[in-house]
Copies of this chain bind each other. A is one copy, B any other.
Amino acid sequence: MIGKSLRIIPLGGLGEVGKNMMAYEYDEDIILVDTGIMFPENDMLGVDYIIPDFKYLLDKVDRVKGIFITHGHEDHIGAIHHVMEAINAPIYATPLTRGLLENKLARNGLSQKTVVHTVNAGEKVKVGHFTVEFFHVCHSIPDGVGFGIECPAGLVVHSGDYKFDHTPVDNWPSDYAKLAEFSRRGVLALLSDSTNAERPGWTPSERVIDDAFNKVFREAQGRIIIASFASLISRMQQVANAARAHGRKMAFAGPSMQDNMKIARKLGFLDIDDTLVVPIDQALTMKDREVVIMCTGSQGEPTSILGRLSTGTNRLFDIKPGDTVVLSSHPIPGNEENVYRTINRLFERQANVIYEAIAPVHVSGHASQEEMKLLLHLTQPKFFIPVHGELRQLKQHAKLAREVGIPEENIAVVENGQVIELTADAMQLDEKIPNSYVFVDGSSVGELEADVMRDRESLAQDGVVVVNVILDRMSGRLFREPDINSKGFIGEKDSDALMDQVRKRIAEVVPYSNGSVTQDVERAVRDVLYAETHRKPTVFVSVSKV
Q: Which residues of A contact B (CB under 8 A)?
A: 15, 41-43, 45-46, 198, 333-334, 336-337, 340, 343-344, 347-348, 353, 355, 357-358, 390-392, 395-396, 441-444, 446, 448-449, 451-453, 455-464, 466, 468, 470, 479, 483, 485, 487-494, 532-535, 538, 540, 542, 544, 546
A348 cross-chain contacts in B, Cβ below 8 A = 391
Q: A460-B459, A466-B542, A534-B444 in contact; A392/B340 too (CB < 8 A)? A: yes
**Which of these, B343, B390, B490, contacts A452 with CB under 8 Å?**
B490
What's the least CB distance linking A461 to chain B, in Å?
4
Whole-angstrom distance between the alpha carbons of A333 and B544 in the complex? 49
A344 to B391, Cβ gap below 8 A?
yes
Closest residue of chain B to A343 (Cβ to Cβ) is: B392
Q: A358-B396, A464-B459, A492-B449 in contact; A470/B344 too (CB < 8 A)? A: no
Whole-angstrom distance between the alpha carbons of A494 and B452 in the complex? 12
Sorted nearest first, the 4 A-B pairs with minimum C-beta distance are: A442-B534, A460-B460, A455-B488, A443-B534
Whole-angstrom distance between the alpha carbons of A458 and B344 in the complex? 25
Q: A333-B340, A468-B542 in contact; A442/B533 too (CB < 8 A)? A: yes
- The prevalent SS among residues of A at the interface is mixed
A-B contact pairs, 26 of them (CB 8 A): A15-B344, A43-B337, A46-B535, A336-B336, A340-B390, A340-B392, A343-B392, A347-B395, A348-B391, A353-B392, A442-B534, A443-B533, A443-B534, A444-B534, A449-B491, A453-B488, A455-B487, A456-B459, A456-B460, A457-B460, A459-B488, A460-B460, A464-B540, A468-B542, A485-B540, A544-B544
A470 to B544, Cβ gap below 8 A?
yes
Closest residue of chain B to A462 (Cβ to Cβ) is: B46
A46 cross-chain contacts in B, Cβ below 8 A = 460-463, 488, 535
A340 cross-chain contacts in B, Cβ below 8 A = 333, 390, 392
B470 to A463, Cβ gap below 8 A?
no
A463 to B452, Cβ gap below 8 A?
yes
B479 to A542, Cβ gap below 8 A?
no
A544 to B468, Cβ gap below 8 A?
yes
A334 cross-chain contacts in B, Cβ below 8 A = 336-337
What's the least CB distance linking A546 to chain B, in Å?
4
A357 cross-chain contacts in B, Cβ below 8 A = 198
Q: A395-B347, A466-B542 in contact; A461/B358 too (CB < 8 A)? A: no
Whole-angstrom distance between the alpha carbons of A451 and B495 in the complex? 13
B468 to A463, Cβ gap below 8 A?
no
A540 cross-chain contacts in B, Cβ below 8 A = 464, 466, 485, 487, 540
What's the least CB distance linking A521 to chain B, in Å?
14
A490 cross-chain contacts in B, Cβ below 8 A = 444, 452
Whole-angstrom distance between the alpha carbons of A457 and B487 in the complex? 11
What's the least CB distance linking A323 to chain B, in Å?
15
What's the least CB distance linking A332 to chain B, in Å?
9
Closest residue of chain B to A43 (Cβ to Cβ) is: B337
A458 cross-chain contacts in B, Cβ below 8 A = 488
A532 cross-chain contacts in B, Cβ below 8 A = 443
A442 to B535, Cβ gap below 8 A?
yes
Whole-angstrom distance between the alpha carbons of A43 and B198 in the complex? 29
Closest residue of chain B to A468 (Cβ to Cβ) is: B542
B463 to A466, Cβ gap below 8 A?
no
Whole-angstrom distance between the alpha carbons of A50 and B43 in the complex? 20
Q: A392-B343, A466-B542 in contact; A337/B42 too (CB < 8 A)? A: yes
A391 cross-chain contacts in B, Cβ below 8 A = 344, 347-348
Whole-angstrom distance between the alpha carbons of A494 and B448 in the complex? 11
**Which of these, B45, B453, B466, B470, contacts A546 with CB under 8 Å?**
B470
What's the least CB distance linking A68 to chain B, in Å?
28
A455 to B449, Cβ gap below 8 A?
no
A494 cross-chain contacts in B, Cβ below 8 A = 444
**Which of these, B45, B444, B533, B544, contacts A461 with CB under 8 Å?**
B45
Closest residue of chain B to A461 (Cβ to Cβ) is: B46
A443 cross-chain contacts in B, Cβ below 8 A = 532-534
B45 to A460, Cβ gap below 8 A?
yes
What's the least CB distance linking A390 to chain B, in Å?
5
A455 cross-chain contacts in B, Cβ below 8 A = 463, 487-488
A336 cross-chain contacts in B, Cβ below 8 A = 333-334, 336
Whole-angstrom distance between the alpha carbons of A464 and B486 in the complex? 11
What's the least CB distance linking A85 to chain B, in Å?
16
